[in-house]
Amino acid sequence: PKVARLTINCGEELNEDGSVRYAMRSTNVYQEFWTLRKGPQEISNIGMKTFRYAEIFNCPVELTPDMISGIALRQEFDESASFFQSSNELLNQIYALTKYTIKATNQDLYVDSQSRERLAYEGDALINMLSSYSFESSYALARFSGEYLNTHRTWPVEYALYSVIIAYLDYLYTGNTASIEANYDILKTKFYTEQLDSEKGLLHVCHSYVNRWDSVLVDWPQSEHDGYCFGEAYYNTVMNAVSCGAYFAMAEIARALGKEEDERQYVSLYGTLKRSMIAYLYDRECGAFCDGLKENGEKIAHYAQHATAFALAFGIYDSPEMAARLADKIRRDGKIKTSVYGAFFVLEGLYNADAGDIAAGLLTDPDDSFGARTWAYMLSGAGATITTEAWNTRNKGNMTFSHPWGSAPASQITRGLFGIRPLEAGFDRFQIRFRPGHISRAFVKMPCVKGQIEAGYEMSSAVGRDGEHYTFTARICVPADSRAVVFLPAASGSCCPEEREIHVSVNGNYMEAQRAGMYAGVEVGSGRYEFSISW
């Protein structure tokens, strides 16, 4: 045959006619031309590409599958280490999407996307590490990425603070102090304490510009700001909320390293900032945080969803009642109004407030129409197999289809729906706090440094003479050398937890439980348990 010139098109999407979109939204052009020699030969491309589809044109012979091979660059991944199944099929699909996202994108460093910048960012890394923790007990990549970012910070002012939170989470999940000890002095430089207004007890911003060094990000892209008043917010609510979380994390790091004076200092700064945020930035009348204060101290009369979501995510409330009001503000919003990045903080905050019904409603929103800020659209509308950079191309025209910062559901299933979080470093003691919402049945298996944690539940109700009665049955497995504090829901809907006596059985034996608001708490050691509670 004559010498042939092949055309190979690769891309993350298909065009409307079914061809591969090789001129990608990310501005990459994944089109190659290969000139063949006469006779049998092996040819290969050069460089790493991020693509889902490939087309080959002008091949002089019939192509068969055995003639084409590929190499995937990723970390080893144990499929059997994690598992999830629930009564909600959409949630099952979302879990599978996020699991494959972590499997495919965990390489030698957490980066935003290999199809464009290929850069590490602190905000991306925070979401990425917690997603990874949901699927595997290998912590080296998360630690390395955090340590890399300690000396390669990015432009958003609050992203530097995430370095502290990442370091704390690494210690909390592993129990290993080596990294926080080696990087302690670097972590101390991440704060903006010199910008603390001694009168108001709030941090002010350096300037009001976006996408410049020491700018406040809040969210990205700019189309996802929900009208946030950047220019006016001299005392920015999101910046202060993240700072509050970082001061808390640094206090815990100092405590773990026995640095008592530093611990007291960071505890004091955390307390000052939290109290001041509630005093100056919280609007008790509408139950929401405003975007911030103007330089003259005037409260900004705008309430972007981000302000309340970040405050909830970092525990900026003084009572369960206040947390419930903040969660209700997001319920009244009706939809997620943030980007896929900001959605992590929306869900984290709602689950922190035990608003599992609201969180699950947003997580499993079935709206898959174009423009919807949902994982349902990401799956069926965009046809994604890895989480995307933005909800859709309307929000960000140059979005990539390989962005793990969209994987928030991974951690929000384990940390939120099941409330699996370490209470003591290295999972010496951890909690399971079931927040089922409308998900009537679910089971999860999650690895940790101690071994496998398993948790499953089923909730049912029946109408009796005195109204509706509920039964919640749970099964858990606590790994060896660990203890679990299990919180079982002891109220539902309009049924007040104090109205009826609750009955808890553990492995068939009635057990006294400690009531904690809407929950009943039981602490157990390693082993397998079946719980049943009714009210």
> Which tens digits make up the pLDDT trace of 137-161?
999 999 999 999 999 999 999 999 9
Stated length of the chain: 535
79-93, 103-117, 181-195, 405-419: segment of lowest average pLDDT: 103-117
For 270, counting Cβ atoms within 10 Å of its Cβ (0-12 exposed, 13-18 middle, 19+ buried), the class is buried
| Residue 149 Ramachandran class (φ > 0 left, ψ -120 to 50 alpha, else beta) | alpha
pLDDT at 494: 44
pLDDT digits (tens, 9 = 90+) for 32-58: 999 988 888 888 887 889 999 999 999
Judge whether 419 and 427 are in contact, CB under 8 Å.
no
| CA 113 and chain centroid, separation | 16
Other CB atoms within 10 Å distance of the CB of residue 354: 21
End-to-end CA distance of the chain: 80
Q: What share of the chain is helix, strand, coil (3-state, %, to 5)?
A: 35, 20, 45
**pTM score, whole prediction:** 0.95
Three-state DSSP string of 116-170: CCCCCCHHHHHHHHHHHHCCCCCCHHHHHHHHHHHCCCCCEHHHHHHHHHHHHHH
Could you tell me which residues come within 8 angstroms of residue 258 by beta carbon, excluding any fewer than 6 positions away?
Answer: none
At 307, list the tokens.
């302000």
Which string of b and e fits 458-485 if b means at least 16 CB within 10 Å?
Answer: ebeeeeeeeeebbebbbebbbbeebbbb
pLDDT digits (tens, 9 = 90+) for 219-261: 999 899 999 999 999 999 999 999 999 999 999 999 999 999 9
Quote the CA–CA distance of 527 and 512 in Å, as a whole number.
Answer: 19
pLDDT at 41: 86
Judge whether 55 and 9 are in contact, CB under 8 Å.
yes
Torsion of CA 236, 242, 247, 251, to 10 degrees: 170
Helices and strands in the chain: count of H runs, count of E runs = 14, 21
The listed range with the strongest mean pLDDT (422-426, 462-466, 509-513) is: 422-426
Dihedral of alpha carbons 360, 366, 371, 377, sign: positive
Dihedral of alpha carbons 272, 276, 278, 281, sign: negative
Q: Output the furthest CA–CA distance in the chain (Å, rounded).
A: 87
Q: What are the residues facing 288 on neighbouring strands?
A: 283
Give yes or no for a cis peptide into 221 (omega within 30° of 0): yes
pLDDT digits (tens, 9 = 90+) for 263-307: 999 999 999 999 999 999 999 999 999 999 999 999 999 999 999
